[in-house]
A and B are shown apart, each in its own frame.
Chain A
Amino acid sequence: MEKLLSILEDLNSDIDYETETKLIDNGLLDSMSILSLVSDLEDAFDVEITPVELVPDNFNSARAMWQMVQRLQEA
């Protein structure tokens, strides 16, 4: 989770990722940020993120992203 938070901090350090739960719904992460994030997550956690995973539920909070990463690692 710390590694994930560090990736998110690099992307935009103005957001409090520990508490924010509407990163997509509130427009804090746009589509370009998502793509950058996908690339970093794939490299850092050795997972493959497909378009099916690109839904707000998976990116609205750091916790949701972490759950997605763990699920993809187990698959």
Chain B
Amino acid sequence: MSYSSILYICIFLPAVILLYGITPQRHRGKILLAASYLFFYMLSGKLLVYLILSTFSIHHIGLWLSSCRREFELEKRQIPQEQREPLKKAYTAKRRKILLFAVLLHVGMLLFLKYFNFFGTNVNHLLQLLSVPIQIPQLKLAVPLGISFYTLQAVSYIVDVYQGKTEADDNIGRLALYMAFFPVIMEGPICRYSQTAPDLYQGKQLAYRNVTFGYQRIVWGLFKKLVIADRLNPLVKTIFENHQDYGGVVVIAGAVLYTFQLYADFSGCIDITIGTGEIFGVKIPENFRQPFFSKTASEFWRRWHITLGTWFKDYIFYPVSLTHFVKNLSKKTKNRFGKHAGQIVTSAFALFGVWFCNGLWHGTGWNYIFFGLYYFVLILLGNIFEPWIQSAADRLHIDRHSRWYSCLQRIKLLLIVFTGELFFRAEGLRAGTDMFRSVFTEFDLSALTDGSLFSLGISRADYLAVLAGFAVVLLVGILHEKGISIRERAARWGIIRRWSFYYGAVLAVVIFGAYGPGYRAVDLIYAGF
């Protein structure tokens, strides 16, 4: 049951809303939790036990960390000032061990279930090359739905409790709902405990504005998913799964259209998620902010999959940057080669951690690791050359804020993103390399006029629907960039104009969406990660 399915939109969600609405406030959180576990069970069956175990463990560990802090505060008051520092050190060491255990437990489970066979295969290749007669067996491992997402939520909760940013929650129901909330479990966004948990379990009254705004956001998500992403799917599949048959312009079209498919699919799903949360009065964090209007790779990643980026920033980038080793190395470099070199050392270590994990998080394949390291190199190079670029711009009297310079930056960024997505979607690193090479070796513009683009699984009508859909998404993006909220504006219109707009939006999905006979339901792309 994907979020864009009729089962979810027309049966599951309305049933949950109905049950939620007729249930007394104090039990509404339990209704959402039961619905979330049912949703998970329908998709992942008995693997629900992993999610429940994770929830129990973070509940227990959170309380353990909290009781350690309380014990320390109590003991501290009973001893003289000079003995407090050793006591603090002892408790910090104990709490650090608990944190390490919790992180290893959760990340270890993710690594084992998701990556054991990937690493096993690669180690076996290596052992074979070295003629070592040992092989790591391949295990039949079933990976629970959303493990990559809920594991990061679990780790963030534990680290936040350890750092004192969040109080440990003694209500296991609230914690369980934070981990399992059904619109979030499949594709995120990766929420922090303080962002969603309190509202989730509060059981807020269903409000007209929340329900209408929520459904509007869901329709917008369906529009992106069904009109753009799912219509493009046959073309993307044809090119990437038969990449040896294509080259040049067709591969470029594949990379560009896959990027738009991924954006429409993932951001559309997030719209449905945020809209669902809105119905229940829960503000789920935004995950996209017009990423294609970015000028640099760093900015792109601050606007694309925002919650993953901020998770990596808070739990990898900053902690790695502020380790004594990195700080000392950075200081030594700064003293010897100047401030900029010191900063580069820090960013090199921290960015490598972030982008290696980012690549690996997305999947088990060398193309994903390449994808992560591709951005690592690009962003690091951007940081290294920034002073020289600025000085060249000053000498040439180039205004880096001018419209034409920004335009060039945006074009460069799009080329970077399309290239990255080519490797990301490719059926392995070798296929990605072959496809990238073919762009140059088989470049032939005649593919644009000889009808090749119409033999890729989608018709002229599909192209037109996608083009129209994309124009609407672009227009909405431009309005959002200008700070204009269409929903807020529409809410102020007169009843006839307003409801014509709402019906028009629903009809656009019904008429132009790719579903029903002749179409196969397309799985959510990020649910696979």
Contacts and interface: CB of A to CB of B under 8 A. Distances in A.
Interface of A: 27, 30-32, 34-36, 38-39, 42, 49-52, 54-55
Nearest to A42: B327
B134 to A, nearest CB: 41
B347 interface: yes
Instruction: Give chain B's interface residue range (CB within 8 Å of chain A).
Output: 20 to 34
B319 A51 contact: yes
Given A32-B343, A52-B164, A38 B317 contact: no
B313 interface: yes
A30 B298 contact: yes
A50 B347 contact: no
Given A32-B347, A38-B322, 19 more contacts: A31-B313, A31-B318, A32-B343, A32-B383, A34-B318, A35-B318, A35-B350, A36-B339, A36-B343, A39-B334, A39-B343, A39-B346, A49-B322, A51-B314, A51-B319, A54-B314, A54-B318, A54-B322, A55-B165
Interface string B320-340: 011000010011001000010
**Residue among A27, A31, A52, A54 with the most chain B CB within 10 A?**
A31
Contacts of B189: none
8 contacts: A30-B302, A32-B343, A35-B318, A35-B347, A35-B350, A39-B346, A52-B163, A52-B164
Contacts of B163: 51-52
A30 B153 CA distance: 23
B298 A50 contact: no
Interface of B: 163-165, 298, 302, 313-314, 317-319, 321-322, 327, 330-331, 334, 339, 342-343, 346-347, 350, 383
Contacts of A27: 302
A52 B165 contact: yes
A51 B313 CA distance: 10
Given A30-B298, A35-B347, A50 B165 contact: no
Contacts of A51: 163, 314, 318-319, 322
A71 to B, nearest CB: 14
Nearest to B383: A32
Given A30-B298, A50-B322, A35 B164 contact: no
A32 B302 CA distance: 13
A31 B317 contact: yes
Nearest to B326: A35
Contact of B342 (A32, A39, A50): A39
Contacts of B298: 30
B205 to A, nearest CB: 30
A14 to B, nearest CB: 10
Nearest to A31: B313
A45 to B, nearest CB: 15
A49 B343 CA distance: 16
Nearest to B321: A35
A50 to B, nearest CB: 6
Contacts of B334: 39
A42 B324 CA distance: 13
A55 B302 CA distance: 16
Contacts of B327: 39, 42
A54 B321 CA distance: 11
Contacts of B318: 31, 34-35, 51, 54
A42 B346 CA distance: 15
A38 to B, nearest CB: 7
B286 to A, nearest CB: 14
**Residue among B163, B302, B321, B339 with the most chain A CB within 10 A?**
B321
A35 B313 contact: no
A69 B314 CA distance: 20
Contacts of A52: 163-165
Contacts of B322: 38, 49-51, 54
Contacts of B342: 39
Contacts of B343: 32, 35-36, 39
3 nearest A-B pairs in the assembled complex, by CB-CB distance: A52-B163, A51-B318, A51-B319
A35 B322 CA distance: 8
Nearest to B160: A52
B148 to A, nearest CB: 23
**Residue among A36, A42, A49 with the most chain B CB within 10 A?**
A36
B335 to A, nearest CB: 11
A35 B320 CA distance: 11
A38 B346 CA distance: 12
Nearest to A33: B343
B100 to A, nearest CB: 15
A5 B318 CA distance: 23
Nearest to A10: B339
**Residue among B164, B327, B334, B342 with the most chain A CB within 10 A?**
B327
